[in-house]
Structure 1
Amino acid sequence: MSSKDFRFLEIPRQTPRTVPVAVRVLGYGEISGDFAPPEAAAQSERCIDCGNPYCEHACPVHNYIPNWLKLVQDGRLFEAATLMHETNPLPEICGRVCPQDRLCEGACTLEQGDFGAVTIGSVERWATDEAIRQGWRPDLSRVKDTGARVAIVGAGPAGLSCADRLRRAGIAADVFDRQHEIGGLLTFGIPPFKLDKAIVRTRRMVLEGMGVTFHLGVEIGRDIAFEDLLADYDAVFVGTGAYTYVDGQLEGRDLAGVHDALPFLIGNTERLLRDEEPSAEYDLAGKHVVVLGGGDTGMDCNRTAIRLGAASVTCVYRRDEPSMPGSRREVGYSREEGVRFLFQRQPMALLGEDGRITAVRVVETQLVAGLDGRPRPQNIEGSETDLPADVVIQAFGFQPSPPDWCDAFGIERDHSGRITVGGEGRLPLQTSHPQVFAGGDNVRGADLVVRAVYDGREAAASIVRLLATAKHTAPLRQAV
């Protein structure tokens, strides 16, 4: 091995500088800075190209990570961006919102050896941003138009990923979404301090340059009948996400001052997009906020409440800290910004006076072995306490809520409402209706953005396979 194989001994792990806490909590700008080109190259040089790249295996889209790190190291930026897009249609977004500590970086060989993982996510983000800024665009010059047309319902990460891959295969992609902007939860659910909305708008520009057509403010089933899509398009991809919040069934959940996480986050993002001051509902100045839930959505609520002026934010989670499903990075940011964590507490009821929330009753828990191997919280009798609260945000998770027209057209769902795909006699991501494919959270339940990207990519591959079979193409449009 050459001395270059041991550069990780000379170059420590480094992440881009973050905006100081005292400044970043005053606004909603992204808190991470960018690498300078020499820093990105140096961090890429730390990769030892270990031969069995665990980072690739841990990545849900199986990015060619060592390969594009080498290209960044060599200054071949456009080639790196092209290689990133071979596996991931949204690399600049995944570079920002993926929990790399639990995926690629957590599996990095250097991380296992306590040298500090290669900063994969930060390099991915910087390289894509910089390549696009310098004029890189997907090269479709050799793509031949097949004449096929596919409708995509939902402009979230699964739908955008599917559209990208269809265009690369010469298939027209029309994307329909009821919102006035693309992105789904990328735009309306993830706060701007994690994902600047200009990044999503730039991705829209790239996709439109590839020939993707967006029909925004259009709801299928209200503005356009689903049967019209089946008649007018060769196939349909459904990527409608998971927007139905999990109801914790807590007594007092109808009290004023109690919010569900997703409406809270969406409402705040929409008023930011309109450049409006917080309404009375979102003015948390001087208020004591309790967030229930330990996932990434809970962390988003924590940090949003801080920016809305809360006097205190307490995050309550029923298990211990190592069991938290949220990104360690986001938990760390929450702590830096002043959030207090209260572990092994199970919320029991929401208490109020005169119709308004005043406290959350919690009980201490102990962790016992669960049947699935994950510790299960067990309430400790007699350990109840009341946490004062002016505002409570429930972040217990989300479930898919596929459109009503799924039933009308024989698109099967399971007991939890998720669309069922694949199985005997079906292509990957194909539903029980042969013309319809689905992916993302409406199939998986609430999950990571990168897994929705994977589903969109794989669904497009299945659609390409289906439409390439000449005997299917014409009859499918007539199978309504």
Structure 2
Amino acid sequence: MGKATGFMEYQCEETQRRDPLIRTNDWREYDTSYSDETLMTQGARCMDCGTPFCQIGDVINGATTGCPIYNLIPEWNDLVYKGRWREALERLLKTNNFPEFTGRVCPAPCEGSCTLAISDPAVTIKSIERTIIDKGFENGWITPRVPENRTWKKVAVIGSGPAGLASADQLNQAGHHVTVYERQDRAGGLLMYGIPNMKLEKEVVERRVRLLEQEGIDFILNTEAGKDISFEALNRQYDAVILCIGAQKQRDLPLEGRDTEGVHFAMDYLTASTKQLLQDEDYIDAKGKDVIVIGGGDTGADCIATALRQECNSVVQFGKHPKPPSARTGSNTWPEFPNVFTVDYAHKETAAKFGEDPRQYCIQTKRFVTGEDVTLKEVHTVEMEKTTDENGKATFREIPGTEQVWPAQLVFIAIGFEGPDAKLKQYGLHTENGSVKATYGDFRTNIDNVFTAGDARRGQSLIVWAINEGREAAYKIDDYLMGSSALPSYLKKSV
């Protein structure tokens, strides 16, 4: 905990962010750092709450509650309050391989479960976490940890997103020779090409990859498992293989006009935009165009922010569900993640530039319509009404007379992911609900020596769950290879 009476004495200070109008003129991160003094005060707000729900890491009513990697939040809040930053870093790194990622892009379910959040704004856990790790790099406290002893066991990690990197980091520290295969030209998975630069600058990702290389991990890029190298070959070359290939198969909208030029998957747009920024490749340009984003989640918000920086003419975001309430309802009680109305960074930027929030609620897209030149001209929609029965099952019905035509030259579909973007059954892997079939806690697939973790196993989820599964799978693989494991395993139950 921080100061015993700190939660009564100090007010929460919102995360410092650059001016919305100014930051849309560049691609740098929109968050800025607090002063040390401010962070110490914010750390002092951490309560002596007995049971720190911020670190329970569970799923309640389908939503993540608390921190799935069980960060020792009260401990490092207390150390920050006392100005003991290096010790705070040591506590943070005990559970989290990559605080520089989670401190930037995690939705912070820990804050939703903060005891103080019952009646007041939560402790600014995410901002404190980010500052601790950034200070660690700035002060040279983070240096390569090269294992002293090697086991001569070889492990292949397929995919370099957060699950793959976490498992690679753990297995390398256990002394195994680890090789990471990545189909893209740069390591990082969705951290590199799925999350735009203004949320996570790519130098932050590349800095961590360089550190992992210095610690002994090999990265083989532009190589897709199952295509450029067969699973049979991987099984012959390595003592164990772990699939951390994510859930990149994007959910589609098979509507009239879907094949029209100008209708794209959101992730294709974000990937191309980042590649253009890094190496001046071809990209989908929103300059001067009316943009519609279908999907109300984080990926949709990232498309909005990207289009704004490309100087779009207008941008609207369609959401399927009603506008969330301003406060928790009786069916969404603490410590569940709060399903309440929030304004994301992209929505603030749109309001600053165009004078209003871009979100439209309970909208159903009906068709995409072309102009005379066979390119996208407009999108037709109808409003929906949502009802929920006594069993909690939601249904939607169209509201007659609410049809509307929206001008659009670009549409981005951001309605989620179905599973791994790979022909899993063709490779002999058993699947379940589109994902690689494996039991949490065991992580073994039906193929000898082949394990899986992260979104590839559990479906689309949070970065903290990816790190959780990467670490846990590494523990299981180390035990499989050596007969026992000294790696930490902080989860003993099935989730």
| Structure 1 length-normalised TM | 0.89
Distance 1:141 1:286, change over 3 A: closer
Q: Give the AA of the match of 1:19.
A: R
Q: Structure 1 residues 134, 394: closer, same or farther in 2, change over 3 A?
A: same
Instruction: Trace 1:440-451 onto structure 2 (pairs within 5 A).
Output: 440-451=454-465
Preserved contact between residue 146 and residue 216 of structure 2 (Cα < 8 Å): no
Change (3 A) 1:351 1:26: same
**Aligned-pair distance for 1:402?**
5.0
- Aligned counterpart for 1:340 among listed residues 347, 352, 358: 358
Closer, same or farther: CA 335–343 of 1 in aligned 2, 3 Å: farther
Which position in structure 1 is the counterpart of 2:39? 40
Q: 2:154, 2:122 → 1: CA distance? A: 43
Q: Number of aligned pairs? A: 458
Alignment of 1:348-427 (within 5 A): 348-354=366-372, 355-369=374-388, 373=392, 375-401=394-420, 403-404=422-423, 406-407=424-425, 410-414=428-432, 416-422=433-439
Q: Is the 8 A contact 1:177 1:217 kept in 2?
A: yes
- 3-state SS in 2 of match to 1:129: helix
Once structures 1 and 2 are overlaid, which stretch shifts more, 80-89 or 359-368?
A: 80-89
Cα deviation, residue 375, structure 1: 4.0
**Alpha-carbon distance between aligned partners in 2 of 1:371 and 1:167, rounded to the nearest angstrom:** 51
Within a 5 Å distance, the mapping from 1:27-426 to structure 2 comes to 27-57=26-56, 58-100=66-108, 103-114=109-120, 116-137=121-142, 140=145, 144-275=149-280, 282-322=284-324, 331=344, 333-338=346-351, 339-354=357-372, 355-369=374-388, 373=392, 375-401=394-420, 403-404=422-423, 406-407=424-425, 410-414=428-432, 416-422=433-439
**Contact 1:296–1:326, Cα closer than 8 Å, also in 2:** no
Deviations 1:365-407 (A, max 9, x none): 1110158736443222332111121211111112223533x43
- The answer to whether the 8 A contact 1:299-1:330 is kept is no
| CA offset digits 1:123-181 (Å, max 9, x no partner) | 11111111022122368577532222211011111100101111222222111111121
Equivalent residue of 2:456, what SS? helix
The root-mean-square deviation of aligned C-alpha atoms, in Å, is 2.4
Given residue 319 of structure 2, which amino acid in structure 1 is its aligned partner? Y
Residues 328 and 383 of structure 1: is their aligned pair in 2 closer, same or farther, counting only changes over 3 Å? closer
Q: How far apart are the structure 2 equivalents of 1:129 and 1:326?
A: 30
- The AA in structure 1 aligned to 2:88 is A
Q: Which amino acid aligns with 1:154?
A: G
Closer, same or farther: CA 235–47 of 1 in aligned 2, 3 Å: same
Contact 2:437 2:457 in 1 (8 A): yes
Structure 1: runs of 5 or more not aligned: 471-480
Contact 1:318 1:377 in 2 (8 A): no
Tell me how far 1:447 sits from its aligned partner. Answer: 1.6
User: Quick one: which amino acid aligns to residue 203 of structure 2?
Assistant: A
Is contact 1:18–1:31 with CA below 8 Å preserved after alignment? yes
C-alpha separation between the residues in 1 aligned to 2:430 and 2:54?
35
Cα distance in 1, alignment partners of residues 325 and 122 from structure 2:
22
- Residues 247-299 of structure 1: CA distance to partner in whole angstroms, max 9, x if unpaired? 111111111211111111111110001146xx6x6332222111111011111
Give distance in 2, aligned partners of 1:323 and 1:154. Answer: 38
Q: CA deviation at 1:346?
A: 0.9
Instruction: State the identity as a percent.
Output: 37
382-391 or 90-99, which moves further after superposition? 382-391
Which segment drifts farther, 314-323 or 139-148? 139-148
| 1:436 match | 450
Higher percent of residues as helix? 1
SS of the residue 2:364 aligns to: strand
Contact 1:55 1:107 in 2 (8 A): yes
Give the CA deviation at 1:6.
1.3
Contact 1:299–1:326 at 8 Å: present in 2 too? no
Give the deviation of 1:300 after TM superposition: 0.6
Q: CA deviation at 1:221?
A: 2.8
**Paired residues of 1:143 and 1:168 also in contact (CA < 8 A):** no
Paired position in structure 1 for 2:16 = 17
Rounded to whole Å, the distance in 2 between the matches of 1:227 and 1:420 is 19
Q: Is contact 1:19-1:31 (8 Å) kept?
A: yes
The 1:10/1:450 distance shift into structure 2, 3 A limit, reads same
In structure 1, the residue matched to 2:488 is none
Q: 1:357 to 1:371 in 2, by over 3 A?
A: farther
CA displacement 1:421-469 (0-9 Å, x = unmatched)? 027xxx5211112311111121122221111111111110110111122
Give the partner amino acid of 2:303.
Answer: C
Cα distance change on mapping 1:138 and 1:235 into 2, 3 Å: farther
Q: Is the Cα contact below 8 Å between 2:153 and 2:481 reproduced in 1?
A: yes
Asked if 1 retains the 8 angstrom alpha-carbon contact of 2:147 and 2:174, the reply is no
Displacement, 1:183? 0.7
Q: Is the 8 A contact 2:287 2:307 kept in 1?
A: no
Distance 2:42 2:264 in 1: 42
The verdict on how the C-alpha distance between 1:221 and 1:327 changes in structure 2, with shifts beyond 3 A counting, is: farther
